[in-house]
Amino acid sequence: MPRALSLLLPPLLSALLVSGCYHMRVTTNNADPVTEGSETVHVLAWGLVQPAPVTASPCASNNLDEVRVHSNLAFALATVVTLGFYMPLTLEWRCAEVQDSVRDFE
């Protein structure tokens, strides 16, 4: 085995084995979701090039009930292999129901 490969192999295997998926969740009190949606976004150049803002278009009320950000092993592997240059994420959201008190003001 070439010396350069023997020096790089342990850190690369360690990075692969310790990487994994993660989940983040933002929610509101009195959750009452009506519709939901999801989209995969791609961040480039360590966050310098970000995707356009995601629009939760099915939310008729413009109120969000819950937002989740997911990564998985394949996304983590892509991030590790590119040394963080490319990072895919899955965004999921749930729309809140329009409250009667909110309808009165519209």
Q: How many domains does the chain have?
A: 1
pLDDT tens digits along 75-98: 888 888 888 889 898 888 888 776
Task: Kindly state whether residue 98 falls inside one of the protein's structural domains.
Answer: yes
Strand positions, DSSP E, the chain: 23-27, 33-44, 64-70, 86-96
**Using CA atoms, how far apart are residues 55 and 16, in angstroms rounded to an integer?**
33
**Full residue range of the structural domain in which residue 51 is found:** 20-105
In a domain, 3, yes or no: no
Instruction: Give the C-alpha distances (Å, rounded to integers) separating 15 from 3, 39, 46, 80, 90.
Output: 19, 27, 17, 7, 22
Region 12-39 average pLDDT: 67
Task: Answer yes or no: is 30 within a domain.
Answer: yes
Within-domain flag for 36:
yes
Per-residue CA distances from 106 to 31, 75, 79, 87 (Å): 22, 42, 44, 40
Which pLDDT score is estimated for 57?
Answer: 65
